[in-house]
Chains A and B, each alone.
Chain A
Amino acid sequence: MFPRFTFNITHITGALTPWCRFTVFAVFFPSDLNTMNKEARLKATINQKLTETGERERLKELLRAKLTECGWKDQMKAQCKEVIKEKGLEHVTVEDLVVEITPKGRALVPDSVKKELLQRIRAFLTQHAS
């Protein structure tokens, strides 16, 4: 999907719908870094490093593979079928699916997958956090 930052980028114009984020590459204007506090700076740096080193993509692929392997994807597809039956095949929108699926999806990730991912993120952080 698209890499995203979790803080507001106020100097880039564009529509921000509730579930849509902009694709932004890891570029900072010097003024931004000065106005950010230490925490935000750390977060920004880590996100930048995640993208630059390709670790974000690797983590995404790992997560996708694990979720398919453990049956989460099939489970979620069944949930999608319910939504489709409810809303009708012709009229179902992405919004419908996202609103129904995302909370369930977050909750149904198996613990083992969650642990493994957190472990890898932690390893990355301890390596790159200065």
Chain B
Amino acid sequence: MKMEEMPLSSPDNTKLEALMHDIYSELVEDACLGLCFEVHRAVKQGYFFLGEPDQESMKEFEIVDQPGVDIFGQVFNQWKNKECECPNCNRLIAASRFAPHLEKCLGMGRNSSRIASRRLARNNMSKSESDQEDNDDLNDNDWSYGAEKKAKKRRSDKVF
């Protein structure tokens, strides 16, 4: 029978419709039963309510909406004005300057090796120098980190 010959005689059509609805009902009932079994197993195995938030954790992580405090309840500038003692040189350093200071102090980080090698080079050069004034001049430049001064130093080194 071809699909184009749709107009069947009425009794056959109604029978097919009835059969169609029967099959549909079976499928729906199957889906419902499946769900019941799934839920029942989840209940008995104890994971049915697992995905839902409980009251305690809701209270604990509630959003804080007070002035001067972030949404977790932490103060923003808490550590701004504090001072920390450097474990290496035992000086009191401001908190915001602490990390760079540690870098230099411990001899780690990118710049500290460069500065150290520069200092070494200068000391070697200045050892061979008898001119005290020049040494002072060079030593003054030690504590500056500007790029122009580096270039100046190198030029002055080359001259010597």
Write the residues of chain A forming the contact surface with B, with a CB cutoff of 8 angstroms: 1, 4, 6, 19, 39, 42-43, 46-47, 50, 59-60, 63-64, 67, 73, 76-77, 80, 84, 89, 92-94, 97-98, 101-102, 105-106, 109, 114, 117-118, 121-122, 125-127, 129-130
B83 within 8 A of A: no
Q: Give me 14 other A-B pairs in contact (C-beta within 8 A), A94-B36, A129-B1 excluded.
A: A4-B26, A6-B26, A39-B15, A63-B27, A64-B31, A80-B39, A84-B48, A101-B32, A102-B29, A109-B28, A114-B24, A122-B16, A122-B20, A126-B6
Bound complex: CA A101 to CA B22 (Å): 19
Bound complex: CA A105 to CA B22 (Å): 16
Contact between B20 and A105 (Cβ–Cβ < 8 Å)?
Answer: no
Shortest beta-carbon distance, A12 to chain B, in Å?
Answer: 19
B121 within 8 A of A: no
Contact between A84 and B33 (Cβ–Cβ < 8 Å)?
Answer: no
Instruction: Give the residue among B16, B23, B43 with the most A Cβ atoms within 10 A.
Output: B23
Contact between B24 and A121 (Cβ–Cβ < 8 Å)?
Answer: yes
Interchain CB contact (< 8 A) of B35 among A42, A105, A118: A105
Contact between A42 and B19 (Cβ–Cβ < 8 Å)?
Answer: yes
Chain B residue contacts of A6, Cβ below 8 A? 22, 26
Contact between A84 and B43 (Cβ–Cβ < 8 Å)?
Answer: yes
Instruction: Give the residue among A59, A67, A94 with the most B Cβ atoms within 10 A.
Output: A94
